[in-house]
Amino acid sequence: MNLASTLTGWRAPASTNFHGVFMSGVVAVAAMSLAEHYRASAMLFALLLGMAMNFLSTEGRCVPGIRFSASTLLRIGVALLGVRITLGQITALGAWPIAMVVLSVALTIGFGIVLARLLGYRNRFGVLTGGAVGICGASAAMAIAAVMPASAEDNVKERATIFTVIGVSTLSTVAMVIYPLIVTPLGFGADHAGVFLGGTIHDVAQVIGAGYGMSKETGDVATIVKLLRVAMLLPVILVITLSYRKRHVAGASGAPKPPLLPWFVVAFALLVAINSTGLIPAGLQQALQTLSTWLLVIAMSAIGMKTNLKDVATVGFKPILLMLSETVFLAILVVAFLFLAR
């Protein structure tokens, strides 16, 4: 979806999208409440609750608004992730942690592609799952899926995204509990423990929970390392977009060429740059971060509504093995980097 079509969606009469957006919002409120109570992933609750209301997306007044929430609101939420990051936070880490994050993200995605092919899947499934594991969990999965084109031969992108969100959210919650227990036997101090937690746990919320559950120093380091992984979303999406543009030209199809960068990725980069100048007041920055979270949860509720539970039930064991292997691979990789840095 380009910016023109997005603006067209916004110009649509309020009555067209209201019912679907409202219902997606209601599910998001319930998901956020459950997540706060059980200290689990709001994305996962939104997805599961949305799937229980799949009937809303099949016919009726909610259909247009659900589509709008799952596409336009998703992209706006991804763009607003830029207010979480500043260039100062990245450079403050020093060269070594930056190199570790860049290499671990690249190698995890590469590992995902290779393993996906060995298991009989397309490269794009390895990119989707590897990107979700390597970068920032459910948010990365949704952002990467948003720039992957659908085709007549491949109508399973949405189901793959749903599975990836479920898998990465579950694994992230498990890691939040288990990883703090293994850093002491590994002999990591507060700083190294923070690098390990921030470099391996998938979702931002779980990184914060695990890091500050150990100590403030560990939590601070873990959060900054995690935000650096979030920043990797921009170059990864750029590479993915360029790859599909090249294939588009090679295929010489009659469809319009996709943009060099989707508008929401450009907005993400601009917000990072503006946020790095310190021009965004702290109160506005917090408000935009909160808005981003809500928009992503609303979008996930809508994606859940568009998903048939029967389709998810047919996934099988191999995708689970893929994501679990990627998670273990990333953990081993970060541990190896930390031991080499000693």
Q: What is the pLDDT of residue 333?
A: 95
d(CA 54, CA 42): 18
Mean residue pLDDT of the chain comes to: 83
Q: What is the pLDDT of residue 152?
A: 44
150 confidence band (pLDDT: 50, 70, 90): low
Q: What percent of the chain has a predicted confidence (pLDDT) above 90?
A: 30
For the stretch 302-317, pLDDT in tens is 888 887 766 666 656 8
- Residue 50 token pair: 């949305």
Q: Which of 7-11, 39-43, 161-165, 222-226 shows the lowest per-residue confidence on average (mean pLDDT)?
A: 7-11
pLDDT higher than threshold 50 for residue 153: no
d(CA 303, CA 228): 27
| Helix then strand then coil, % of the chain, to nearest 5 | 80, 0, 20
pLDDT higher than threshold 80 for residue 262: no
262 or 301, which is more confident?
301
pLDDT higher than threshold 80 for residue 196: yes
d(CA 260, CA 105): 22
Q: Which of 69-78, 194-203, 259-268, 295-304 shows the lowest per-residue confidence on average (mean pLDDT)?
A: 259-268
Kindly report the pTM of this predicted structure: 0.75
Between vectors from CA 122 to CA 69 and to CA 159, what angle results, nearest 5°?
30
